[in-house]
Amino acid sequence: MTTSKSIAGLIGPTLVAGAVAVLLNLGTWPALVEQGFRDPALVFVSGFPLFVAGLAIVRAHNRWEAKWPVLVTVIGWLALLGGLSRILFPTRLAPIAVRAVQSTGVLPAVAIAFLVVGAFLSFKGYSRE
């Protein structure tokens, strides 16, 4: 099994599960985000696992070819940068996140995008090729 398939097999179901959880609990997410981002220490600490996961993906899979595995690389870089931004700017991210979640349509659109990307990566990660 290639590195691309292995990592896609981990990221895909994780994105699907997260997206389904958001869509099933759409009404409670604004309150959850507001409460979670009210504590900069929580934002700071949550950045470390995201940073480490992104760094692990980038170190194992930094491929920039015009095929589906580039999606794994892009997600790795986004996780790395997302984790780093939480570590470096925990208090500045709170208002941005709260505004984004409270904007009508942003959260469902992001959740649906995660669902599609997660389903695609799950298919690639678990299909025979």
Task: Convert the pLDDT of each residue in 44-79 to its tens digit.
Answer: 999 999 999 999 999 999 999 999 999 999 999 999
Residues 6+ apart with CB under 8 A from 31: none
Q: Which residue has the higher pLDDT, 35 or 85?
A: 85
Written as six digits, the tokens of 81 are 């940068």
Higher local confidence (pLDDT), 30 or 122: 122
Which DSSP string corresponds to 13-68?
A: HHHHHHHHHHHHTTTTHHHHHHHHHT-HHHHHHHHHHHHHHHHHHHHH----SSST
Question: What pLDDT, in 10s, does the model give residues 87-100?
Answer: 999 988 877 877 77
Helix 69-88 to helix 40-60 angle, to the nearest 10 degrees? Answer: 150
Stated pTM of the model: 0.89
Amino acid making up residue 71: L
Structure tokens at 8: 């896609």
Q: Fill in the DSSP letter of residue 105.
A: T
For the chain, give the percent of residues with pLDDT over 70: 99
